Amino acid sequence: MRVVLATRNAGKIEELRRILAGIEVVGLAGYPDAPEVAETELTFAGNALLKARAIAAHTGQAAVADDSGLCVDALNGMPGVFSARWAGRHGDDEANLKLLLAQLADVPAARRGAHFACAAAVAVPGGEGRVAMGRIDGRIIDAPRGTGGFGYDPIFVPDGESRTTAEMPPAEKDAISHRGRAFRALAKILPEVTG
C-alpha cells in the first residue's frame, strides 16, 4: 500500500515511516506543485481532513495528513491548533518555545499540565475520508532539554517520565506519542478507505 503524506516536514515524514512500517509513505517532495493547504479549521480533525482531501484530489492517490499540537491547561488549551504558528510565523520552533515558556514563567510546576493531541486523516480522491485521534498527557518544564524530535518536544515531559520527548530515542517516543497513537489507529482503517 502506498500513501502520500501531506507534508514537506522531513521530521514528520521520517517519524511516520517508522510508525507506518509496511506502508510506503511518500512526502510532497515528488509533487512540487502540490498546494499549500491553509489550516483554516478550528479543530485538529477538521484541519487534517482538509489537507488529506486536498492532497488526494491533487495527486489522484490516497493521502494521509495530520494536525497536531500542544494543549496547555494553564493557557485554556492553547496553543492548540495554532501550535506551529504560536509566535506568528509557521514552523519557527525556537520562537514558539520561547513564547510559550515566557507565557508560563509565573505558572508553578503543579499547574503546568498539558497534552499533545493529534488527528490523523486519510482520504482518497472523491472519497469521504476518515480520522483517528491520539493523545499523550504530561507537563511543561522550565527550559528545553534534549536534541531529538521537533516542535515542543524539548519542553514536554510525558506522565510517568522524567525525560522530555526530545530526550527519548525515536522508537521509544513513537511508542507513546500522540502521533504514534493516532497513526497506528489510522493504519487499521487504511485498508477500508483505500481498498
Helix 10-19, helix 178-194: angle, nearest 10? 70
Rounded-to-10 torsion of CA 3, 153, 147, 142:
170
Of residues 67, 93, 153, 174, which has the active-site annotation?
67
Nearest CA to 184 among 134, 143, 146, 140? Answer: 134
Proportion of the chain above pLDDT 90, given as a percent: 72
Helix (H) or strand (E) holding 133: strand 130-140
Per-residue pLDDT, 9:
79
CATH number of the domain residue 62 falls in: 3.90.950.10
Nearest CA to 138 among 82, 92, 84, 70? Answer: 70
State the average pLDDT over residues 56-77: 95
Predicted TM-score (pTM) of this structure:
0.90
Do you know the residue count of the chain?
A: 195
Mean pLDDT computed over every residue of the chain: 92
pLDDT greater than 90 at residue 185: yes
Could you report the per-residue pLDDT of 157-171, keeping only the tens digit for each?
999 999 999 999 988
The domain of 79 spans: 2-194
Alpha-carbon distances, residue 118 vs 35, 48, 106, 108, 186 (angstroms): 22, 9, 28, 26, 11
Cα–Cα distance measured from residue 184 to residue 144, given in angstroms and rounded to the nearest whole number: 28
Does the annotation mark 159 as catalytic?
Answer: no
How many domains, the chain?
A: 1
- DSSP assigned state of 60: S
Could you report the per-residue pLDDT of 69-99, keeping only the tens digit for each?
999 999 999 999 999 999 998 879 999 999 9
pLDDT greater than 80 at residue 195: no
Could you report the per-residue pLDDT of 120-144, keeping only the tens digit for each?
999 999 877 999 999 999 999 999 9
pLDDT greater than 80 at residue 11: no
DSSP alpha helix (H) spans, 43-121: 44-59, 93-103
Per-residue pLDDT, 15:
80
Nearest CA to 61 among 52, 70, 69, 74? Answer: 52
